Amino acid sequence: MRLEALFNYPLKGCRANPIQVAELDSLGIRGDRRFMAVNHRGQFVNGKTFPKLVLVNCQVEDEQSVIFSAPNMPELKVDLTGDDGRVDVRVWRSDVNAKSLGEKANSWISDFLGGDFRLCFYDQNSHRQVNSLPEYPVSFSDSAPVLVASRQSLEALNAYTGRVDKIEQFRPNIVIDADSAFAEETWQRIRIGDVELLAVKACARCPVINTDVEFAQPDPNQEPLRSLTKLHRRVSDGKVIFGQYFVVTRPGQVARGDKIEVLQSMQAQEYQPLPDEEQGKYTITFEPMTQSAIAAVNDTILEVAENAGIALSSSCRGGSCGACRVKLISGDVEVGADYALTEQQIEQGYILACSCFARSDVVISLED
Ligand code: FES
């Protein structure tokens, strides 16, 4: 098995930078996911909320400065050694104190995304830990510093869908020419070149993978996520997975063509195909009007409401603004994101309709 491709994504959600040789330290590939866009409340935004982030090109120069470019935008160069203050930001459930990139950078990203946003930098004074392995740091990556996927996993998915989705849609750092599809989920510890990696968890997928990386267009049929759900679905918590997250236990250099050694294997998690479409359909009843609609497995509660002509407010459609908050009265839902809710709201039964899926017949109250 060989290392086939390497990518970094200096700005969370930005275009993939292909690289030939990479230095890995405890934060993963040097420069990867060190920058992040946040809204006015410090909540991160990503490609799920703003698909056009994938059109942003981000290049770090000698760790002294960073250059952002994007269609119809002037190039922006930011000096990383300047003092633009600090900002408290939130990525998923982690609070991070990051370096601000300053007003010029904030205006640039606000103009590009259309709204009130800021750009921040995970510098040497920032701290965030991998949830399940707190002795390991992680910057603005979703779960852990290094995401590994095999070309064979993508080929298996493409063979199933008959589409030609690209590996960059799945945002891996390391792509491996492996022995078989989904083999990466059985690797507990691996060595590549000088570097050793320890598995943390499989990568749970969201609609980001449905966005075409050239034009930033989300697929109207929600592919390939919809098909991945049928092909390869994790049983224990209902998440759809693709690729494996790792921490770096031995830093060093890796290069395209390096041999992959599996130092320790593990049992892949158990999978089972989804029930057929009919079995996977549930009834959602919206109160107080007692109007019901049918939800397929992969439909968010917001989509079900909209398809049924029920007015429900929404804005980001990615779990970060809280506009689509509704109350779950009965039934089971799978929660994709709830980080716009307070602990108290979660305890009270509030959910975000844009990020929840029915997993039984459910009753939803639209009254706040
Ligand atoms: S629309 Fe923003 S959280 Fe659902």
Using one digit for the tens of pLDDT, what is the confidence trace for 225-269?
888 877 876 655 667 889 999 999 999 999 999 999 999 999 887
Q: Residue 135 contacts by C-beta under 8 Å, 6 or more apart in sequence?
A: 129
The CATH number for 222's domain is 2.40.33.20
What CA–CA distance (Å, rounded) separates 194 from 180? Answer: 24
Final residue in a domain of this structure, among 265, 297, 312: 265
For residues 288 and 204, membership in a common domain is answered with no
- Would strands 187-192 and 362-365 be described as parallel, antiparallel, or unpaired? unpaired
For 134-154, write each residue's pLDDT tens digit. Answer: 999 999 999 999 999 999 999
Domain check: are 54 and 97 in the same one?
A: yes
Return the H-helix or E-strand segment holding 350.
strand 350-352
Tell me: do 162 and 69 sit in the same domain.
Answer: no
15 CB under 6 A from ligand 1?
no
Q: Is residue 29 part of a domain?
A: yes
Cα distance between residue 225 and residue 233, in whole Å:
11
Assess contact for 117 and 46: CB atoms under 8 A: no
Do 119 and 185 belong together in one domain? no
Contact predicate 151/178, CB 8 Å: yes
Residue 6, domain member (yes or no): no
Residues 118 and 164 in one domain: no
- Whether residue 202 is contained in a domain is answered as yes
Q: Is residue 273 part of a domain?
A: no
Query: Ligand 1: distance of its center to the CA of 368 in Å?
Result: 15
Q: What is the pTM of this model?
A: 0.81
The residue out of 62, 97, 131 marking a domain boundary is 131
Domain count, the chain: 3
- Is-contact 54 211, C-beta < 8 A? yes
For ligand 1, whether the C-beta of 243 sits within 6 Å is: no
* Parallel/antiparallel/unpaired status of strands 174-177 and 146-150: parallel
- Does residue 125 contact residue 34 with C-beta atoms inside 8 Å? no
Atom of ligand 1 nearest to the CA of 315: 1
Best residue among 40, 50, 312, 320 to mutate for probing ligand 1's pocket (most ligand atoms within 8 Å of CB) is: 320
240 in the same domain as 286? no
Specify the DSSP class assigned to residue 231. Answer: H
The answer to whether position 15 is within a domain reads no
The number of the ligand 1 atom at minimal distance from the alpha carbon of 352 is 4
289 and 330 inside one domain: yes
Residue 96 lies in a domain: yes
112 and 88 assigned to the same domain: yes
Residue 3 lies in a domain: no
Give me the tens of pLDDT residue by residue for the chain, a chain 368 residues long: 999 999 999 999 999 999 999 999 999 999 999 999 999 889 898 887 788 999 999 999 877 999 999 999 999 999 999 888 999 999 987 999 999 999 999 999 999 999 999 999 999 999 999 999 999 999 999 999 999 999 999 999 999 999 999 999 999 999 999 999 999 999 999 999 889 999 999 998 888 899 999 999 888 887 998 888 778 766 556 678 899 999 999 999 999 999 999 999 998 877 766 555 555 688 999 998 888 998 877 788 998 998 888 888 887 776 777 889 999 999 998 887 677 788 889 999 999 998 888 888 999 999 87
Domain presence at residue 70:
yes
- 3-state DSSP assignment of residue 247: strand
> Which residues, in sequence order, are CB contacts of 134 under 8 Å at separation 6+?
none
Are 205 and 307 members of one domain? no
| Structure tokens belonging to residue 150 | 């095999």
Structural domain range at position 159: 146-265
